[in-house]
Structure 1
Amino acid sequence: MHRIQFTVYGRPVPQGSMVASYNTKDKVARVHHVQGAALAQWRASIRLAAIEAGAEVLEGAVQVVVVFGMVRPIRKSKYPTVAPDLDKLVRALLDALDKVCYNDDAQVVSLYAGKVYSTRTEVIVKTYADEAEYETTRRLGEATKSDTSERQLSMSSMWENGGE
């Protein structure tokens, strides 16, 4: 089994909707992300953090565990139930890790994701050691015994303690 863990600092940027524009002078249509520049910078930060942590392109089934750190708003709420949407944050992360941690995000067969108030985003990407490990995860819908490292426990407590 191969496992990589890394931290990404900064404000997570969602990979949201696409927008089409048309340049009448050049007669060229373009499609781009709503938050193009910010999204490109966030994806670059993710890739850099993964590479610095020793990422290699994994083969086979992959599991991703991520806790996104969100800036706490002035109006305090126990849970970060406001934008950006978790699924759009995950989309940006998975696409950023293409060709860095795996060949294609279609290899991700298991994903655990959450949002907390914090200044950092924690990520674990790992391959499944064998079919039994995947089956246990699939049936139980929770992390397996191999995920009880100090880092995983730290992420769990970060999640439970609201990013602290």
Structure 2
Amino acid sequence: MYKEDRLPHNSKEGIVFMLIISIISVNTIAPIIMGLELGFSKENYLATLKIIPFMWIIVVLLVRLVAGPVVGKVMPKFMGQTDGFNARVLLNILLNVTVLSILLTIIGPMVGTKQISLEPFQNFFHSWFRNFGVAFWIELLIAQPIARFAMKKMHARQARQVEYIN
């Protein structure tokens, strides 16, 4: 079976792929959303940096435990057998960002303010549309392409090593 060089081939590569995407995403999406919410300032950025390690752990857990399984079940319902790589990637990004942005629109403010409140639910639709838009474009244009490029380079290096041995 053909393996796509832009995607992970095993669980070790899957971890690297997820780490690249999650680190880029958390370090770009969170500061942008916080800036849009509270204003772009040095103080707000520094406050965001204190929260990022916790958000990164939450994002990785949500990807592995919630978004991954949900998207894995939903994708086959929308995917056609003739759909190409780009269509599948776009659908995967759309579904993952949808699930994660819904959850993180609720969880993020609670982590950021260090208190459980109804505020994220009261402002959900206003916040979610903005959060989804920021996350979708960061994933589509920055995080995912960088991770796929890293996989392609990793697989090319592996292929050169196999050729060198033979």
TM bin, normalised by shorter chain, reads under 0.3
**TM-score w.r.t. structure 2 length?**
0.28
In the superposition, the TM-score normalised over structure 1's length comes to: 0.28
More strand by share: 1
More helix by share: 2
